[in-house]
Structures are given as structure tokens and as C-alpha cells.
Amino acid sequence: MAVSWYALAVLATTALGASIAPTKDQFLEGSMCGRVWITIHSPAIQRTLAPNLLDAIELNWDFNGCSTIPKQIGLFSNRPLSWNNALETYPLNSVEGYIITNTSLGEGALPGGWLTGPGRKGPHCLWPWVAAGDLQILAYNCLKIQPTWMEDNGDKINRLRIGELAIAGTHNAGAWKFNTEVSTASRDSFVLCQDRSIWAQLVHGIRYFDFRVAYYEFYQNEDDRYWLNHNLIRVRPLVPLLKEIRTFLDNTREVVFLDAHHFPIGFYDTDGRPIRQVHEGLIELVQRELGPHMANAVNFATEPGSRGPTLKTLLDADKRLLFSYVDNTIVRENNFLWPNLPHLWANTNCPTELFQYLDQAITVSPQPTALSPLYSAMAQTTPTVLDILFLRGSLRANADDVNRNVTSRLVTRWRQYANIVSSDFFLGNDVIDVSIALNIERGSSRL
């Protein structure tokens, strides 16, 4: 599938830009100049005379570099053809910006047959569309899923090495809804970092997963002892999530990057030595569930400081799951594991400090001696202990403070260098669509 006619021009001339190619019978995105797109507001909106508004739809625009600016922007339930069909309209008084609508995304059911299993290839629109223009529609877009974006654009990107890709990732990917004996909450101020399941994240286009794995010996069944945590808090059992990844890999030609980033409970003795039986148990689980798809590092790894194998190399071998492991002691004992990939973490609750750190760290990554060809920009702020104790803010509010700037940075300051960009509440930014367009741009320069 080829990129649409205006995509690369948009990337070249505006502050923001990404485009998806049309299906046979419709364009999913279009504009002669500039761009509009949809994101989802992560915090709940407090309302006095009505229930709180959850998952409010945001309308975003950027018309930098355009000779004129459209006069209005609107929300639609179908492909925008006329302003008569708009659900909400707003005046446009700035070159770039966003508006939070009064409409919720709702359940956000996955289109194209992807709700619970494999569906049709290509991008597909969820129900909300956005358009901007004057009397006529001049720019439009929809909230999309991108379940097969690597295959769809293979002719453009397969020559890229994995360290040259722009990859949308999720921080604390498994922390999306509690599944414990004491809680099934889907919203939490300081534990849950995502709104969508691992399956839904894959279908939307996420390809890197930051897993924090804990081990609880009190479960009788060995499989039940491995959980995904947020620090010390259990969130979801691991094995069902590995099965979701396996189903996705079985039914697509996508490459997925799984990162065992942190082991908060049960993996180390009090003196810091690894409990090898626990590590071996995790590795055996991953091999059992994902083994047929695993790209063993011993077969594909390249020299330190290099950018790794090409996508084509992985696809030709049909080995499309790379498993990185944060403990290089364990990696040295298991040469099929990929070494710890650097995580660019600012460790600050201040958005300004976050971006100052990432702006510098991304431009000098990867380091010449890095063992991994990959690196992840951790594009989220970190609450302090006092923030949590005194309930100052929330992870949702923190994500809202940074996600729009993450989108902007990816096609400006980070555009040439970014590899993995990991965020909280990823529907609050446009990293997936922008990453796809950047990969096409990077790949096209190789043709």
C-alpha cells in the first residue's frame, strides 16, 4: 500500500504531519496543506450538572506554513462531506491548537473485524472524524487502527534496520485495568497507565511493550505466579497477555518488541543477586508462548553501536518477536535474549524538565558502545512520593500535560533520531500515525 499523495509534502512543510494511504474505496485522511487529527483526552472532565465526561474526543490541527487558515473545525460521525453533517463545530482562530469536545469516544470498539481476533488488513477508522475548512471541507482525518502498518508499507520500510525505525510504544503497557482478587477497576490515579488492552494496543499500531514483571510464590500454579505490576502493585497476570501477542503474531506479518524492563518483586534476593529459578521460569513461559516467533539475538544481533538487523531479515526468517531483558547478567547466560535497551528516563514530575532531558538525550542516542540497537524515550513524567501521598494530580493529568508536545517533538526536534517513543495513555497523542509517516520518509531515502 503506497503512502497517500500529500503525506511526504505535509511532513516536509509543516510542524506536524503523518498520513495513511487510502483504502480502495475511501481516503482516511486528506489535506492540501496542514493537517487535522483526533486524540482522546485522558483525564475525566468534571461537570456540575451531569456525570463526569470520560474519554472526551479532542480535535487537533496544525496549519503552519499554509497561506490561509481554515475558519472552522468540526467533529463528525462519518467521512466529512458537508458541514451539515457535523456533530459539533468550533471557530478556528490560531495556526495550531486543539479543542476538547463535549463528546466521549465511548467503548471505542475496534473496526475491521479486529475486536476480538484478526481482521482485515490495512488501516480502519473508528467512528470519530474531524474536518476543517471554510464553506467547504479542506482537511479531514479519522481516529484509526493500524493493525498491519508494517506489512502495508513494507516496500518502503523493510530496508530499515530496527534501530532506524520510529516505533510507538507504551510505558507500563500491562497496567491498563486491574485483574486481581480485590480490584477490577479500570481507572486509577497513580497505578494504571493505559486505557487499552495489549490486544487493542497491537491493533492500534503499538509495537513496543514495556513490561514490569513480578513473581508471587503464594500461587499454587507456576503460570499464575507471574504478573505485570506497576512497581509494587499487581495489575494483571502475564500469561494471558503473552497469548494475545501470540495470536497477533500468528495472524499478521508485524514485528513486535517486548521488553522485560523491570522486576519489582520476587526476582532478586535481599542482597541483589538474581533468583535464577524465577528468571528461568519467566524465560520458559515466554519461550513456550512466543517461541515460534522469537528472533533469537544469537542469530540476529549485530556489533555494539550498530543499528541491528533489517526488518527484511526478520521477515525473511519469519522471526518477528524480539525479547529484550533488563538484566544483562541473565542475558549473558541466555544468548537468545536481546540485551537491555537504554531507557531515556528523566525521572521528573515537571514537563519542562522532561522535554529538556529528552531533547538532549535523543540526539546523542544510541551510544557508540550500546549493546542494544534499540533505545526507548520514556515520554512521561514521574510522580513523586509526595504527589502520591497527597493525591496531587494523577497519571492521566500528567499524560495530558505532555502528550501533545510528544506529538510535536516527534516531527521536529526528535524527527531524525527517535527510535522507540513510549507514552502513557497513547490515544492522547498521535505518535502511531506520525511514526508510520516518519518510517516511510526514512525508508524512502534508501530507495
In this predicted structure, the answer to whether residue 3 has a pLDDT above a threshold of 60 is no
Residues 6+ apart with CB under 8 A from 347: 382
Helix axis angle, 395-410 to 431-444, nearest 10°: 20
Residue 247 belongs to some domain of the structure? yes
Using alpha carbons, list the distances in angstroms from residue 180 to 112, 133, 187, 214, 401: 31, 48, 14, 14, 30
Q: Where are the beta strands (DSSP E) in 312-395?
A: 321-325, 343-344, 376-378
Of the residues 144, 176, 200, the one at which a domain ends: 144
Residues 133-146 have pLDDT tens digits of 999 999 999 999 99
Same domain, 111 and 174: no
Place of cell 467521512: 79
pLDDT given for residue 66 in this prediction: 94
11 pLDDT above the threshold of 90: no
Q: Supply the pTM of this predicted model.
A: 0.93
| Same domain membership, residue 395 and residue 292 | yes
pLDDT at residue 447 in the model: 62
Q: Which of 144, 161, 187 is the last residue of a domain?
A: 144
434's grid cell: 506520525
Kindly list the strands in the beta sheet with 124-133, ordered across the sheet, starting from the edge strand earlier in the chain.
30-31, 137-145, 124-133, 72-76, 88-91
Same domain, 96 and 186: no
Write the pLDDT tens digit of every residue in 114-132: 998 999 999 999 999 999 9
Residues 166 and 46 in one domain: no
Residue 2 lies in a domain: no
Look at residue 25 and tell me whether its pLDDT is greater than 70: no
Instruction: Give the domain CATH number at 327.
Output: 3.20.20.190
Are 38 and 155 in a shared domain? no
8 pLDDT band (50/70/90 cuts)?
very low
Whether the predicted pLDDT of 17 surpasses 60:
no
Q: How many CB atoms lie within 10 A of CB 298?
A: 10
306/242 same-domain check: yes
Whether 405 and 324 map to the same domain: the answer is yes
Q: Are 128 and 80 in contact (CB under 8 A)?
A: no
**Could you tell me if 136 and 277 lie in one domain?**
no
pLDDT in tens, 351-396: 999 999 999 999 999 988 899 999 999 999 999 988 888 788 899 9
Domain of 85 in residue numbering reads as 7-144
Give the tens place of pLDDT for each residue, 315-343.
Answer: 999 999 999 999 999 999 999 999 999 99
Answer yes or no: is pLDDT of 10 > 90. Answer: no
| Domain contains 400 | yes
H helix count then E strand count, the chain: 13, 17
Q: Which residues pair with 268 in a beta bridge?
A: 274
Task: Mean pLDDT check: name the lowest of 143-157, 174-188, 195-209.
Answer: 174-188
Per-residue pLDDT tens over the stretch 219-250: 999 999 999 999 999 999 999 999 999 999 99
Q: Is 1 domain-assigned?
A: no
Residue 139 sits in the same domain as residue 164: no
**Can you tell me the mean pLDDT for 208-215?**
98
Q: Are residues 164 and 84 in the same domain?
A: no
Q: How many domains does the chain have?
A: 2
